[in-house]
Structure 1
Amino acid sequence: MDWTVFIILLCATGAAAATGVLFQPGEWYISLKKPSFTPPNWAFPVVWTTLYILMALAGARAVAAGGPLLGQGMALWGLQIALNTLWTPVFFGAHRIRVGMLIISLMWVVIGATTVTLWQIDWIAGLMFLPYWAWVSVAAALNGSIWRNNPDRLRG
Structure 2
Amino acid sequence: MKILKYLIFFLVINFGALTIGGWLMNNGPLTAWYQNLNQAPWTPPSWVFGVAWTTIMICFSIYMAYLAKTVLDKKLVVLFTIQFILNVVWNYFFFNLHLTILGLVCLIILTFVIGKFLLDYKSVLKIKSLLILPYFIWLIVAISLNAYIVLKN
| Band the TM-score falls in, shorter-chain normalisation | 0.7 to 0.9
Unaligned segments of structure 2, at least 5 residues: none
1:7 deviates by 1.6
Unaligned segments of structure 1, at least 5 residues: 151-156
Does 1:40 find its partner at 2:41?
no
TM-score by length of 2: 0.88
Count of residue pairs brought into register by the alignment? 148
TM-score by length of 1: 0.86
What is the RMSD computed on CA atoms of the aligned residues? 1.7
Residue by residue, what CA displacement relative to the aligned partner does 1:56-88 show, whole Å, maximum 9, x if unpaired?
A: 110101122338xx5433432232122111111
Residue by residue, what CA displacement relative to the aligned partner does 1:16-63 show, whole Å, maximum 9, x if unpaired?
A: 211343213222211110111111111000010110111111010112
Could you tell me which residue of structure 1 aligns to residue 126 of structure 2?
A: 123
Q: Map 1:124-143 onto structure 2 (within 5 A).
A: 124-143=127-146
What is the percent sequence identity of the aligned residues? 29
Does 1:63 find its partner at 2:68?
yes
Contact 2:22 / 2:91 at 8 angstroms: preserved in 1? no
Instruction: State the secondary structure of the residue aligned to 2:46.
Output: coil
Cα separation, 1, equivalents of 2:119 and 2:134 = 13
Report 1 or 2 for greater relative contact order, CA contacts < 8 Å, sequence distance ≥ 6. Answer: 2
Contact 1:59 / 1:125 at 8 angstroms: preserved in 2? no
Instruction: State the secondary structure of the residue aligned to 2:85.
Output: helix
Q: Map 1:1-156 onto structure 2 (within 5 A).
A: 1-22=2-23, 23=25, 24=27, 25-27=29-31, 28-66=33-71, 70-150=73-153
Corresponding letter in the other structure for 2:9:
I
Provide runs of 4+ in structure 1 moved above 6 Å.
Answer: none
Q: Which has the higher helix share?
A: 2
Corresponding letter in the other structure for 1:134:
I
Contact 1:6 / 1:60 at 8 angstroms: preserved in 2? yes
